[in-house]
Structure 1
């Protein structure tokens, strides 16, 4: 195969795309017909079903993972004067909630093989003003900070996992989200392992924290929507956001969750393994490992002359991408810029290959064959 004489299969033209099982359309339509577009009965059911799946006492559904991170920071009292340790290698959605509250992102380097932060880097970055750590579970890989969690707790530092890409992943025998010492935030956005079209969820540590998050997600109002409808007044106790999930979105999420283990998990795991096998002997391509417990969100390789490879594959109709340009080099966060040599080296090399459940193992082999051709062409140029 050469890059010039083949037509790519339709599935590989997309870096990622939603995967629907079919009943989502009817479920959303019924929610629309029922006329409840705010947080209603379906959203309550979605929360209970998520909690049962994760084996946790409670889950607080929200409008997005970005909002979820901001609500979690608010609930933990993070604000002006506080430092929040966070990797630069993530989507800007992880960082904007920190600065929106007047806190300072303290960017740290990641492990070059996993693109995730390690306990030693967190400890080295601690300051007297540190009040939170946000590990990003890049690609679905669990981040193990268990060796330092007790020490962080002793200093009043909260760990808020950005698990937007890691729903269903496991750390050893436990689901991501099941550690009661950690606040975990998931995304149910368009291309996530479970989609509600848009949406997210927070796993709180305590019943009190859950109640606080529910108040914050409803503009600081202390009563639920059901309670407000039945009375003539309500109380706004403090700050808050409009962060509830719609019943229409929850209806889609419930269908997705029902079929998650049966369809999505095996497809994503099988596709990732197909990529790993095909990439094993590709000179110049290094696979970013997601570990054994992940439900993979994407497949990322490190390649030389990444921009040229990216251009060649996209010109051939293969939907490669980059996740993500590092945040410490972005103009919006220039005030907190500092040298991160590992992150900056990876940022020049990372390339996301097409990855979604509609793809087959043959699709993965096709993409890898095209990548091999592109790398060979660059070496010979």
Structure 2
């Protein structure tokens, strides 16, 4: 059995550049920890990076999805098309607004939905489609945009994995035809410690999401400091992003070009190292236009290989158990053969910026040994 390399023992890990601690310290010293001008500066800089008019910060990627669904008017009696192969948060956000999921299959090569999957799932109750940009890869629903618009079906992108990725010449989130939801959780391409962002299509959607994230209050925090009252005009939640988290995000954003280069380089190093292994299929994220969030392979005897690699101290994982087979979502179960086959074969290799080429060689060598052991058993 090979000796464990510490960085190979983690499937994912936050990567900090050093400026984050000082940025947080400045917020702590200022004594204003909630939603402040720093939060709004983070929104402005994200919008500028993406090339969009506006961005609305919230507490998490799940909060982003929930807020976007509410702002789009999705609710009870509505059906939302969504792939089963995603983190359960995507489905929980749909249920949180009273809608029901319509699970659809995926393209086995990308683990993402296609326009055809979406079109085939449309029913009279369909109100929204939530493509999941799995691993960071953009999902282009442009070919069916007109058909969806004619039916009043809104597209809400779960881009939790995909900040910085591109769809053609534009960044994910800059199409203007979808509400796009990003996650800035601990292990995402850009981290705030915890946080999320919604990219609205219109100023009206931006206003709605800002009301929702502030318990339905219309006035901004700065406006409320100059008045003796405020107006609550509808349902809302406490989804504001704190100045502490925004400070981390701003520090990360200033170094994001380095992040893009590093993550693409690590993924390509894996690609080259895996070429010599028979029976292993790398999920191609398209690194020319993607900022990779995961490095995944498909392989036979996945469960045996998973157990072997964990025993060797290699931090492999599985993203994700399919939702249509989960007990909580059994009411909406339907056959999804490509999803079920992929779910039995996918394995996420350690992927984070602490890895070195030597770490990756170590992981791939251990994978080769585990495959041989599984074949001999």
- 8 Å Cα contact 1:106/1:336 also seen in 2: yes
Query: Is 2:15 the counterpart of 1:40?
Result: no
Pairing partner for 1:273 from 249, 255, 268? 268
Give the aligned partner of residue 280 of structure 2.
285
Cα distance in structure 2, aligned partners of 1:35 and 1:85: 44
C-alpha distance in structure 1 between counterparts of 2:30 and 2:291, whole Å: 34
1:25 to 21, 24, 32: 21
**Distance in 1, Cα, partners of 2:115 & 2:248:** 37
SS in 2 for 1:348: helix
Per-residue CA deviation, residues 272-316 of structure 1 (Å, 9 max, x unaligned), is 001111112211111111113110001011111111111100111
Please state if 1:166 is matched with 2:178: no
| Matching residue of 2:110 | 114
Partners of 1:209 and 1:101 lie apart in 2 by 16
Is 1:77 aligned to 2:73, yes or no? yes
Cα distance in 2 for residues equivalent to 1:182 and 1:79 = 18
Match of 2:355 among 350, 356, 359: 359
Where does 1:55-74 land on structure 2 (aligned, <5 Å)? Answer: 55-74=51-70
Structure 1: 5+ residue stretches without partners? none
- Superposition deviation, residue 225 in structure 1: 1.1
Match of 2:313 among 308, 314, 317: 317
Cα separation, 1, equivalents of 2:34 and 2:89: 23
Q: State the alpha-carbon separation in 1 of the partners of residues 93 and 376 from structure 2.
A: 46
| Residue equivalent to 2:242 | 246
Q: Which residue of 1 aligns with 2:120?
A: 124
Which residue in the other structure is 1:95 paired with?
A: 91
**2: CA distance, partners of 1:36 / 1:138:** 36
Secondary structure at the residue paired with 2:268?
helix
2:294 pairs with 275, 291, 298, which one?
Answer: 298
Aligned to 1:179: 175
Runs of at least 4 residues off by over 4 Å: none
How far, CA to CA, are the matches of 2:338 and 2:32 in structure 1? 49
Aligned equivalents of 1:193 and 1:227: distance in 2? 33
Give 3-state SS (helix, strand or coil) of 2:197's partner.
Answer: strand
For residues 131-189 of structure 1, the C-alpha deviation after alignment (integer angstroms, 9 at most, x for no partner) is 10000000001111110012101111110000000000011211001100111000100
CA displacement, residues 86-131 of structure 1 (integer Å, 9 cap, x when unaligned): 0000001111010111100000000001000000010000001101
Task: Describe how 1:370-381 pairs up with structure 2 within 5 A.
Answer: 370-381=366-377
How do 1:204-215 and structure 2 match up within 5 A? Answer: 204-215=200-211
1:8 positional shift: 2.1
Aligned counterparts of 1:133 and 1:36: Cα–Cα separation in 2: 38
Count how many residue pairs are aligned between Structure 1 and Structure 2.
376
Separation in structure 2 between the aligned mates of residue 152 and residue 241 of structure 1, nearest angstrom: 29
TM-score under structure 2 length normalisation:
0.99
Counterparts of 1:78 and 1:10 in 2: how far apart (Å)? 45
**Distance in 1 of aligned mates of 2:157 and 2:225:** 35
Taking the aligned partners of 1:247 and 1:102, their CA distance within structure 2 comes to 31
Identify the residue that residue 251 of structure 2 maps to in structure 1: 255
Q: Which moved more, 1:57-66 or 1:354-363?
A: 354-363
Q: Residue 150 of structure 1 is aligned with which of 128, 146, 151?
A: 146
- CA–CA distance in 2 between the matches of 1:339 and 1:35? 54
**What does 1:330-341 align with in structure 2 at a 5 Å threshold?**
330-341=326-337
Query: Per the alignment, in what secondary structure is the counterpart of residue 348 of structure 2?
Result: strand
Deviation at 1:30? 1.1
SS at match of 2:207: helix
Does the CA-based 8 Å contact 1:270-1:361 persist in structure 2? no
Question: Is the deviation greater in 196-205 or in 148-157?
Answer: 148-157
Task: Report the CA distance between 1:241 and its aligned residue.
Answer: 1.4
Instruction: Give 1:229 deviation, angstroms.
Output: 2.2
